Homo-oligomer: A and B are copies of this chain.
Amino acid sequence: MSTIQEYDLLITGGLVVTMNPGLDLIEEGYLLVRNGRIIEIGPRSQLRPAIAAKRVLDAGEKLVMPGLINAHTHAPMALFRGIADDRELMDWLANYIFPAEATAVTPDFVDWGTRLACWEMIRSGTTTFADMYFFEDTMADAAAQAGMRALLSQGIAEGPTPDSATAADGLARAEAFIAKWKGHPLIYPAVGPHSAYACKPSTLLRAKQIADQCAVPLLIHLAESQSENRLIQEQYHTTPVRHLGKLGLLDKNLVAAHCVWIDEEEIEMLYRHDVGIVHCPQSNMKLGSGIAPVPHFLKLGIKLGLGTDSPASNNRLNMVSEISAVAKLHKAAALDPTVVTAQQSIAMATMGAARALGMADEIGSLEVGKRADIVVVTLDEPNALPLYDIYSHMAYALESSNIETVIIDGRVVMENQVMMTLDTEAIRVQARQIKTKILGSLSVPHKGH
């Protein structure tokens, strides 16, 4: 007689989309979870009888997939959602977002903004997010309490930011932040110099040094808009990618968001140095920034993730919507429906993002040994009926409202659309109060409540 083992969670039934290297689909599957990790995965017919799990979840007739990864955002900016839309990136940043941040961004703002963002992300199937913002320590507390996995980088820029009078202050905060959170099961610290235009070379070099010494990723915005490229051209007589290359920042620990305005030689450089790229289609579209050469990235096999960017530029934190947008955007741009397939789009939000963020051993697919970050999706809603091709379904038909249950690190954080880790009513009240305060202190045009 075999020993009956004790598991934390057993998920049975359902169509399991593994996103493992063989892209295996399991028609009626099961997953066993212990200590936050997937211990077994396979067809339910192979599940031994008399398995004792603390918790059993029936996923029959449902879809079971890896948690989605939002590989680039500024989560607390959920509190700025819609504050000044339909404006060009540099105008939007310089005349609306930076002044709003200077006035409004406090630890309290970051705390409630992060809770609001985690609510929206969990609700739409995201289990990990990568972030660059301020008061990152407050953010880490809020994300960990929400039960979310997060790669968090303390934001660094010249001149005063909401939490630092100088870049040196920001760099010091980054060091302290890493020291405090390194080794946490959910929070992965990183360094986040804003960009080549908002940080001097000396600041970028010091940020890189900290990242290297602490063995954490370096997150940066790169070649997002034509205005950024013009600024770098004026100041350094080169392009943003080459500028970082000269400084020695291009390596496998660099996670570069956007990479819209880069030429073929630069794409090769990023590939050769094993840089991770995060594509943010809907933010790039909404800001009119441009269309990144994603088919080219895919052809080379660059580590490529997908992100929403900030909820002030998107204006959602919904990776289901982002997956759908990325496939369609590049078909439209290339006049070719075969570029950026449904499957490739889903990969960008799962394994591709995990690779880009240096987390491929931990997340991005449903495989034995990986963290148990799992999403259960109903196929009973009208938009999900009927089902012919599961990848087409996931990329083009599903909506975030189809997501029923979300598990992070083996813990059920949303069950049947009920949030288990967040006080949603308190977040509602605070979001509205903070917005009223922001409107009182700024001259932002607004229409509505």
- Which residues of A line the B interface, CB within 8 A? 15, 25, 27, 78-83, 85-89, 92, 116-117, 119-120, 123-124, 226, 282, 284-291, 314-318, 321, 324-325, 327-329, 331-332, 334-339, 341-342, 379-383, 385-393, 395-397, 399-401, 424, 427-428, 431-432, 434-435, 439, 444-449
Whether the Cβ atoms of B391 and A447 lie closer than 8 Å is yes
Task: Select A286's contact among B81, B285, B317, B331, beta carbons within 8 Å.
Answer: B331
A and B contact pairs by CB, cutoff 8 A, 16 listed: A81-B385, A86-B331, A88-B338, A89-B337, A92-B337, A117-B382, A123-B383, A285-B328, A285-B331, A286-B327, A288-B337, A290-B335, A315-B396, A329-B332, A385-B431, A390-B449
Task: Select A448's contact among B117, B316, B380, B388, beta carbons within 8 Å.
Answer: B388
CB A35 to nearest CB in B, in angstroms, measures: 30
Closest 3 CB pairs of A and B: A390-B448, A401-B401, A386-B435
Whether the Cβ atoms of B285 and A396 lie closer than 8 Å is no
Chain B residue numbers with a CB within 8 Å of A79 are: 386
Chain B residue numbers with a CB within 8 Å of A386 are: 79, 81, 431-432, 434-435
Q: Which one of A318, A383, A399 has the greatest number of beta carbons of chain B within 10 Å?
A: A383
Whether the Cβ atoms of B86 and A334 lie closer than 8 Å is no
Q: A432 to B316, alpha carbons, bound, how many Å?
A: 32
CB A449 to nearest CB in B, in angstroms, measures: 5
Given A27-B449, A123-B381, A390-B447, 13 other A-B residues pairs in contact with their CB atoms under 8 A: A82-B387, A82-B397, A116-B385, A288-B337, A290-B332, A315-B393, A315-B397, A316-B383, A316-B397, A325-B328, A386-B435, A389-B445, A399-B399
Q: Which one of A117, A386, A445, A449 has the greatest number of beta carbons of chain B within 10 Å?
A: A386
Task: Select A389's contact among B327, B336, B387, B446, beta carbons within 8 Å.
Answer: B446
CB A106 to nearest CB in B, in angstroms, measures: 16
CB A383 to nearest CB in B, in angstroms, measures: 5
Task: Select A388's contact among B25, B82, B395, beta carbons within 8 Å.
Answer: B82
Whether the Cβ atoms of A393 and B448 lie closer than 8 Å is yes
CB A338 to nearest CB in B, in angstroms, measures: 6
| A61 closest partner in B (C-beta) | B449
Whether the Cβ atoms of B86 and A341 lie closer than 8 Å is yes
Given contacts A285-B332, A337-B287, A427-B382, contact A435 B387 (CB under 8 A): yes
Q: A78 to B332, alpha carbons, bound, how many Å?
A: 22
Chain B residue numbers with a CB within 8 Å of A392 are: 82, 85-86, 315
Chain B residue numbers with a CB within 8 Å of A88 are: 336-338
Chain B residue numbers with a CB within 8 Å of A317 are: 383
Q: A200 to B336, alpha carbons, bound, how many Å?
A: 29
Given contacts A290-B335, A338-B88, contact A15 B449 (CB under 8 A): yes
Whether the Cβ atoms of A286 and B316 lie closer than 8 Å is no
Q: A226 to B80, alpha carbons, bound, how many Å?
A: 42
Chain B residue numbers with a CB within 8 Å of A381 are: 123
| A338 closest partner in B (C-beta) | B86
| A344 closest partner in B (C-beta) | B86
CB A446 to nearest CB in B, in angstroms, measures: 5
Whether the Cβ atoms of B388 and A328 lie closer than 8 Å is no
Whether the Cβ atoms of B85 and A396 lie closer than 8 Å is yes
| A320 closest partner in B (C-beta) | B399
| A433 closest partner in B (C-beta) | B386
CB A198 to nearest CB in B, in angstroms, measures: 20
